[in-house]
Structure 1
């Protein structure tokens, strides 16, 4: 991007969806949040701020929430955005025919209605003092009156929203997505006039994205783990700790990982720090809890505890494997997706398990969509690689969707339709999450989160590896003002050209 060429160029892999009813991973959320503005937003410091809603509050029970909307916002086609627009969007997302994976964000909502054009009332089935944070997820977006059902491909590929950008043309699957600046957006006018997004081959995407940044094609890119040190030496290097986790999902519903000792053996046989040092140049933090330090010390379990099996201990791991009936030679499946920088460390982790435990690790290599299909199937056994980036800044969004019993929901064929894909069930854990949601005292709420984390760790419901760290590069010689947002994406509305930034500074002296 240059002052004379205000086009921002970048690459991503194919999103699952860019329509708010189903947008979920970073790529889809990037595009969806460029097209739609929800009730609330996060400011530069990560605090809730007004967006389409000018104010909001709950009653004393935290079960009835009222959002008062601005009266000066419109969709990109000129239709006013009202409380009815939000009711329409939420109703559309909850259509059973849509069967969307993101419906759990609305799971605690009993009803919602527009009391007037500028007043939205939401009633919850149970108290939730942090419900306002949940509205940051795209599923809570408004849609205009002409929007068809959730499964309408014309809208799926070219949504009409109320965000800072609009679709220039329908999504060209496997090729590109083009966005134009939305001159009807109520926020500050972005300097970027157009965003050109290439859709890259998932097998080579990370390397291709970085190489195209180096040759000047892209203004921004992710970094292959092996090139972290090189990228860190550049002027355009960006890094931030994120509210997320990389981990293994043990399939708790069948052998061999239905055994706690099997999960203990797996976890204690992983030399996390060695993997980080070798494949991430030491730029990750070993995870000894499910909650990232991003959430703060108040939420994070403190110190060692008796049932902690997240420390590398080969002797202890071998003893647990024998207790589980998994001696050397036992076959254990390990599924992962290629194309996102995982291959090298996954193979090293598998080799480590073979060395420490003598297990016959069978690697199941697939693409991102194939991994989802595998880990949600009834036949899934052993464990798989996974990563989670929170949709909104609360421990609830880490612990509830991944581990609450209501989020495992297999259908008649045994396919899981929630994010609790390891099918973990523990009533004590569920009760702690309910207590946290109802706690108006922040200290009491934090204590419930910590205890829930400890409970899940004692069960090894998930096997934590390392916390999320976002590392990116941008063309510092051409652009300024770019930050990494909460979702790990570039802040497109804050980007300015270096030339414009210099001119602006010189004219204000």
Structure 2
């Protein structure tokens, strides 16, 4: 039996020393580190775009998931090193072949309206996530979790009531899988698996995530939300671990212009912002205690729409990918410590060793020569230049990458690439609907295992925006799911997509940010950067 026992949160503080907010009052010092705490525990940060949703079963973006982690809590959390720690579940266990997982919930977890959090709330949320009526953009993720009948329900072949989840009692939640899955606990830290309040959703419908309506079980409650401008969440006094949460308020400011955001950071309006492309070397030199470049479990890439001409021809896709000088992109354009990508899965991924794919072993000159040859074979050249469009979501960084790549294609291959940008939600719809030729994309691991990247290219993946279909790749994916150690198959999958090139991996991310030195508790050691505001605190400054 595999069991995770409850860990100690923070050093317990005597109730006589606790204020109404839950923060220690003994000399206003941090109970573990002894640091002097600021009187105001407020964290303000910049987001590039409005979040896709505040609904756990609907949210699909990184920034939105951070907000949802503050408003809701799943079965398990991750600590500052990325290790699993208790959330609503105090402990869990599996049967011998890892096909049945049982989670034992804490009895002191409450919703922000005072209702207890129960196993039924997880049953409701998970059935909701796979329900075709909701059409969650992350329904496919529940399929990856291999929950019994999950994929059939998502396909509309079986009723959601047949999903392999059950509430044994109010505080025991059991999941039955269709196959052995050793990393299943990692998958329940994702927002899609968080509980949802049935009574609130039934009362308010689509309006349930608005301030005043939203009921969550996280460390914070939603108090203000001005679309495309500002979102505020404040301490939830009913959160089970409220006494160890030192943060009173978190403010998200949506600022599309990253240079404007940096100016506002410098003016003291923001505690955290992203570093504009190309500015990290200067900022790291000027403010070494504020500029950070953290390796992150993410890949930046361009999707080729495999459904439309000429991108239904692998020679065209390979030619364009080969002609991208990734060293120039990371060293001259981004300049934030990013890593050139020749495989889709980052080297940081646990248990994964990137294979030496053929085009990654070439020199750039060799890649450029091969690109010309491939494009000529496909019928394009000086007398028949390829014209295309690169779609990206509005961002100065994405624009700079697109300008650089389009210039490479023009200079080396005579390709004419027009740039088109759209605001975030429109961009997501356009890309998902397949109304593009080439589209910018980024993927961050939902859990730390190679399948979180490689399953994206499965023909039935909800995020296979490249519309890549390969029976051989799908068969490999299925084979990997049946193996205790699928590393050899993962290598074969990477080698296959390096030939078929459904998309062009460009670089593996770093989290490049400015963070005020008085903000403490940031999870620098977590490659997934699953930030939770309840773990942050502000020291006197």
**Residue in structure 2 matched with residue 224 of structure 1 by the alignment:** 276
**Contact 1:267 1:310 (8 Å CA) reproduced:** no
Closer, same or farther: CA 465–355 of 1 in aligned 2, 3 Å:
same
**Residue in structure 2 matched with residue 199 of structure 1 by the alignment:** 254
Closer, same or farther: CA 121–311 of 1 in aligned 2, 3 Å:
farther
**Residue in structure 1 matched with residue 356 of structure 2 by the alignment:** 303
Offset at residue 368 of structure 1 (A): 2.2
Separation in 1, partners of 2:124, 2:495: 40
Deviations 1:134-173 (A, max 9, x none): 211111111234221598233122431111111124x221
**Residue in structure 1 matched with residue 395 of structure 2 by the alignment:** 339
**Residue in structure 1 matched with residue 410 of structure 2 by the alignment:** 354
Separation in 2, partners of 1:230, 1:300: 33
Q: Which runs of 5+ in 1 are unaligned?
A: 408-417, 501-509
Q: 187, 194, 197: which one pairs with 1:141? A: 194
Offset at residue 308 of structure 1 (A): 6.6
3-state SS of paired residue (2:514): strand
Say whether 1:80 aligns with 2:119.
no
Q: 213, 218, 227: which one pairs with 1:173? A: 227
Closer, same or farther: CA 378–291 of 1 in aligned 2, 3 Å:
closer
**Contact 2:121 2:197 (8 Å CA) reproduced:** yes
**Residue in structure 2 matched with residue 184 of structure 1 by the alignment:** 238
Deviations 1:310-368 (A, max 9, x none): 95622111000011112232212222222252112211110110110011222222222
Offset at residue 473 of structure 1 (A): 1.3
3-state SS of paired residue (2:303): strand
**Residue in structure 1 matched with residue 449 of structure 2 by the alignment:** 394
TM-align CA RMSD: 2.3
Closer, same or farther: CA 481–271 of 1 in aligned 2, 3 Å:
same
**Residue in structure 1 matched with residue 104 of structure 2 by the alignment:** 68
Separation in 2, partners of 1:452, 1:315: 25
Closer, same or farther: CA 224–307 of 1 in aligned 2, 3 Å:
closer
**Residue in structure 2 matched with residue 118 of structure 1 by the alignment:** 171
Separation in 1, partners of 2:337, 2:204: 41
Deviations 1:288-324 (A, max 9, x none): 111111115x413333537977956221110000111
**Residue in structure 1 matched with residue 519 of structure 2 by the alignment:** 479
Closer, same or farther: CA 113–16 of 1 in aligned 2, 3 Å:
same
**Contact 2:296 2:509 (8 Å CA) reproduced:** yes
Closer, same or farther: CA 309–430 of 1 in aligned 2, 3 Å:
farther
**Residue in structure 1 matched with residue 299 of structure 2 by the alignment:** 245
**Residue in structure 2 matched with residue 160 of structure 1 by the alignment:** 215
Offset at residue 7 of structure 1 (A): 1.6
Separation in 1, partners of 2:172, 2:422: 47
Q: 494, 497, 500: which one pairs with 1:453? A: 494
**Residue in structure 2 matched with residue 411 of structure 1 by the alignment:** none
Q: Which deviates more, 51-60 or 482-491? A: 482-491
Offset at residue 2 of structure 1 (A): 7.1
- The total of aligned residue pairs comes to 479
**Residue in structure 1 matched with residue 540 of structure 2 by the alignment:** 499
Closer, same or farther: CA 461–189 of 1 in aligned 2, 3 Å:
same
Separation in 2, partners of 1:371, 1:310: 34
3-state SS of paired residue (1:90): helix
**Residue in structure 1 matched with residue 22 of structure 2 by the alignment:** none
Say whether 1:374 aligns with 2:414.
no
3-state SS of paired residue (2:309): coil
**Contact 2:336 2:512 (8 Å CA) reproduced:** no
Q: Which deviates more, 254-263 or 369-378? A: 369-378
Separation in 2, partners of 1:174, 1:274: 33
Separation in 2, partners of 1:314, 1:367: 33
**Residue in structure 2 matched with residue 413 of structure 1 by the alignment:** none
Deviations 1:236-263 (A, max 9, x none): 2222111110011111112111111111
